[in-house]
Structure 1
Amino acid sequence: MTGDRASEATPRPVQRDLNPGDAWVETPTGERYWGRFGAAGVLAFDERRGVLLQHRAEWSHHGGTWGIPGGALHAGESPLDGALREAAEEAGVPRASVRPRCFWLVDRDVWSYTTVVVDVEDPFEPVPGDAESLELRWVAIEDVDDLVLHPAFAQAWPSLRRSLSRRPHLLVDAANVVGSVPDGWWRDRQGAVERLVRRLAALDRAGVAAPALGLEGASWHPRIEVVVEGVARGAAGSGEVALITALGSGDDAIEARARALTAAGATPVVVTSDRALRERATAAGAAVHGATWLLDLLADVDR
């Protein structure tokens, strides 16, 4: 759920380790929200089965409604870590089986709730880990509105649903981006590409602010692919960033990949300052940003 507002009934305690974050936060106007350090939850999306929803136990807040696994954050815990921990505790969601897609934030000044939308990369069956669930179920996107939803989740669902149709992919023209900074890259093009890949891996972990991608939400984790050519073909990649080795022209490889992603329903974002390639990428259905756009994002992560 996104925003757990207090009701008159007090939730029944569950058998967990005591967490100082398990407490109510009260706003100046008297509203109360669960989670002294904020709260977070996971909306897991499986392209074949839909989204994972939790049928809340009758004794719980808004019992009997459907929402997502989540709960109070621990002190110093990031929303991502807290959301994945709660999803593992309540629904048996394996952290290694999912990849963050985007984050949505509800901010009440004194309290916040973060919904982490994740893609299921290794299918799993949910398993109730405590007494908070009547049922855990994969629900087709088109069937979600047929359920009695937790009020906060119902309010957030239209935006969350739109995010499930957005799959941004960064296609990075390595030669153009590396060549835009006069740091001696010409002496070691392979090494320069590898430095870029390491910085892109850090960007993958940090995420990209939604406005930078023209998307809704707080931040996104686009999949990142780097196209290399020429003497840089031997560059080493990383687990987070995919390297595409162009057998011929790098521009041809980027255009072909952009067309393939567009046809698959993804949203390619080509990063290059080359005018001719920008025109080809646009014609292939991609959004286009220049090298400076990406370098500014990387600089923010470096700080």
Structure 2
Amino acid sequence: MTDPTPPLRYPPRDLGDAWVVAPSGERYWGRFGAAGLLTVDDRRGVLLQHRASWSHHGDTWGVPGGALHQHEPAVQAALREASEEAGVPIDAVRPWLTDVADREVWSYTTVVAQVVTPFEATISDPESLDLAWVPVDEVTRLPLHPGFAASWGRLRGLLAVRPVIVVDAANVVGSVPDGWWRDRPGAASRLLTRLATLATTGVPAGALELPGHTWFTDWAVVLEGQARAAADVPGLQVVRADAGGDDRIVHEAELLRAGGRPVTAVTSDRGLTERLERLGATVRPAGWLLDQFS
């Protein structure tokens, strides 16, 4: 039986580097919880770490991860730990989903991230014996860390889910009487800025009727009329309708649904809602989106 206590090579580096003991006696690493990064490359598979024998559940395979620092967001912690343990460049991946295993006294957040710039993983601290890109179908052939094994079936089912939110910008802007009619491009720009922030903080899974905890979805924002003069904003797909905005929204949703992607459309227009629902899109009113901003 391996000793789960790391070698005494340092005093705790951070307040979070400590055990949490449940009433049942089970021990969990990370006073403020823990997080790990499940990195997905469509060509190579998922990046897994062979854990050092001295670590908790050593000699098993799982995702790079570790204890959260005090007040550290889980996504930031997962990216930091993956960088420290596996040399994952933070700007080479894009998170799109978090999944939380809640043990009441402690929680573990798995951050699923897509590779956007290929890189080679490197063993960069003593916690890794090996690193490997493992095809999705071969993951269960490895001796897995118990926590990762318990969540893998659920996580695997989410790897192909890539939700998109399509926004009827004119309808959302028009739902707030803030003088938008005096400067339609300016009003559209304000909406785009708020959406870009939401794209980085994510949307609760429950709000999208999807499993998991938080989704960092793709966004397609359709502008029409004078609002088309609003500038592009990084992190969003800005679609400028040459003719009717409703037709372009339906067209975008139809293309996405044909590609198998779950679509949530945002509009309070009744006729447009009926057209989108016939395509299989989920439709939310403008007020739903405004609630996400709060």
- Matching residue of 2:112: 117
Deviations 1:86-138 (A, max 9, x none): 00000111111111111111222332211111111111111111122222111
- 1:257 alignment counterpart: 252
Three-state SS of the structure 1 residue aligned to 2:48 is: strand
One-letter amino acid of the structure 2 residue matched with residue 104 of structure 1: D
2:46 aligned residue (44, 51, 71): 51
Structure 1 match to 2:266: 271
2:161 corresponding residue in structure 1: 166
Tell me what 2:198 maps to.
203
**Which residue is equivalent to 2:132?**
137
C-alpha change, 1:46 and 1:294, in structure 2 (3 Å) is same
Q: 1:99 to 1:253 in 2, by over 3 A?
A: same
Give the aligned partner of residue 212 of structure 2: 217
Matched residue count: 294
Alignment correspondent of 2:88: 93
In the alignment, the residues of structure 1 paired with residue 53 and residue 173 of structure 2 have an alpha-carbon distance, to the nearest angstrom, of 57
CA distance in 2, matches of 1:14, 1:141: 36
Tell me the alpha carbon deviations over residues 27-46 of structure 1, each in whole angstroms, 9 at most, x when there is no partner.
Answer: 22322111122111101111
- Aligned CA-pair RMSD: 1.9
Instruction: State the match for 2:187 in structure 1.
Output: 192
Q: Secondary structure at the match of 2:37?
A: strand
Confirm whether residue 74 of structure 1 aligns to residue 69 of structure 2. Answer: yes
- Percent of aligned pairs with the same residue? 55
> Segments of 4+ in structure 1 off by > 4 A?
13-17
Which 10-residue stretch deviates more, 136-145 or 87-96? 136-145
Amino acid at match of 1:188: D
Q: For residue 273 of structure 1, give the secondary structure of its aligned residue in structure 2.
A: coil
* 2:219 aligned counterpart, secondary structure: strand
CA shift, 1:286, in A, is 1.9
Indicate if the aligned counterparts of 2:6 and 2:55 stay in contact, CA closer than 8 A.
yes
Q: Aligned equivalents of 2:69 and 2:194: distance in 1?
A: 29
Aligned residue number for residue 29 of structure 1: 24
The one-character-per-residue Cα deviations of 1:154-186 (angstroms, maximum 9, x if unpaired) are 000111112212111111011111112222111
How far apart are residue 17 of structure 1 and its match? 8.2
For the Cα contact (< 8 Å) 1:14–1:130, is it kept in 2?
Answer: no
The one-letter amino acid of 2:259's match is A
Residue 296 of structure 1 pairs with residue 291 of structure 2: yes
Deviations 1:252-274 (A, max 9, x none): 22122112222223222111111
CA contact (8 A) 1:45 1:117 kept: yes
Structure 1: stretches of 5+ with no match in the other structure = 1-6
Q: TM-score of the superposition, structure 1-length normalised?
A: 0.91
Which shifted more, 184-193 or 262-271?
A: 262-271
Q: Distance in 1 between matches of 2:256 and 2:4?
A: 49
Counterpart amino acid of residue 253 in structure 1: R
- Alignment-mate amino acid for residue 48 of structure 1: R
Asked if residue 237 in structure 1 is aligned to residue 264 in structure 2, the reply is no
Q: TM-score, normalised by structure 2?
A: 0.94
Contact 1:45–1:118 (CA under 8 A) maintained in structure 2 = yes
**2:37 aligned partner:** 42
CA contact (8 A) 1:39 1:72 kept: yes
Work out whether residues 4 and 57 of structure 2, in 8 Å CA contact, stay in contact via their aligned partners in 1: no
Flag the 1:144–1:14 CA change in 2: closer, same or farther, 3 A. farther
Measure, in 2, the Cα distance between the counterparts of 1:287 and 1:64.
44
User: Is the 1:105–1:113 Cα contact (8 Å) retained in structure 2?
Assistant: yes
What does the per-residue CA deviation read over 1:247-303, in whole Å, with 9 as the maximum and x for residues that have no partner? 2222222122112222223222111111222222223332211111111112x2xxx
Deviation of residue 13 (structure 1)?
5.1
